[in-house]
Structure 1
């Protein structure tokens, strides 16, 4: 049978497992776990497409291949994946029926209406004064140009009542991070939320070594919804965090031009920044919105965790 609204086996995928892992789980940020039932020896795969027991299912095949051999494992995984592809048809249809929208299309108007963006750093204290005045317990931290220490740009976003504040700091190579940013990073009473994944490059570029009250959305998503073969990324984590949204969020194509801007400064082919005035307005907005979306994703994951009786920081 063809999997209506799901994936086609040929010519895109060479095996049922590849179709499940790349065509389904990889596209949506779902997790999969293969195992052999200890009682029946049948190969199974558990697929998790959200948070909670209602958002997962174990698919059981008839295959009892030997788990002690590579051919047996390969055959068992393929059999379990075949059953899963068939069983996930309706769930996939529900996911795929949502129109795809970029992060900017989905959240841009709300960001523009509710987020105040201010400069921070040496000689630009107004942003930090505003942030300290709101006494944040949780902040989202994002970094651009993280292959050097200090990084090219640091974005810190916090809630201010129903709205948000984003402070953007341009550290200088000579002076490093501002006193205010170091104070924030050293304050264990404030939860710092990153979307840094397994590389940890953002945290390293800031010199963050302590794990006390430091959260990574990739790790939180794995704890709540299972491990994935590749990092979910911010867009898929937003989809996980807000499952009732009417659209499926995808990464913005504009990311590439903004990343190139900061990479050129990192490489020295563009002059170093002396402040936010050296950054094009659309790039400032992109950078601030990254931190804002990180905070929004944390909020959604926290609500889901609370519903499931799971405790996460913040």
Structure 2
């Protein structure tokens, strides 16, 4: 049983871990949980690629990380990779750029995401939650398989959410793109977070035998920029919820735990919350046929040729 809990922070759960010589990549590393995850990974000695849509914000976050470290983190430990999950063409370009660096990838933290109340479409015409939270990460991760394999032991960490409890996905995966149903921001967000977990489980089933292990997690309810596009009543509710919310360092703890704990160096297909293994929150994530079907549908939607199946 882990000694960590919801009160543990990212530095505490990774204390004593030496990531020197390891390469990590964190999506959405310019703010909130992503920035804290990148900071602590670098603090433990990793070289961290901050994969973000906005270069200026990423550079500002990088400087904050270096300046706050009091000499413990060097600028050379952090670099920037432009990654716009709103466009599959941009995702492909970003993956190619990373592969050109010929860098084995030991830790991939798929952290970036959106949560919006309104219906919005990506550049490719997908409902935005599915397109950005799931399909973008699905394609990006698969395109980096060679880099993950080159690490000779890698971990993929998917930041999911207990919001999957609001998901409306069916075993038949009907209307994934919200073309027939009346749109709901909360339910579409829940769908995308369930897809994150289903993707993690299926990825682990396919690649654990090659030494690439995938796990997913719920970080907790945290006051971050994720809710910046929500309605005024929702944000007012958030103000009253602040005493119950985690701080960002505590929110990033479960990501760091899944990425660095020696206990999970060769274990995948798990779900974490509060730095502990937890029971999967949705029956579809336990349905191997449904997870495999979602994988195939995702390949079709992203035009990804799954030649390694």
**Structure in which a larger fraction of residues adopt strand:** 1
TM (norm. structure 1) is 0.30
- Rg: which structure is higher? 1
Q: Decide which structure has greater helix share.
A: 2
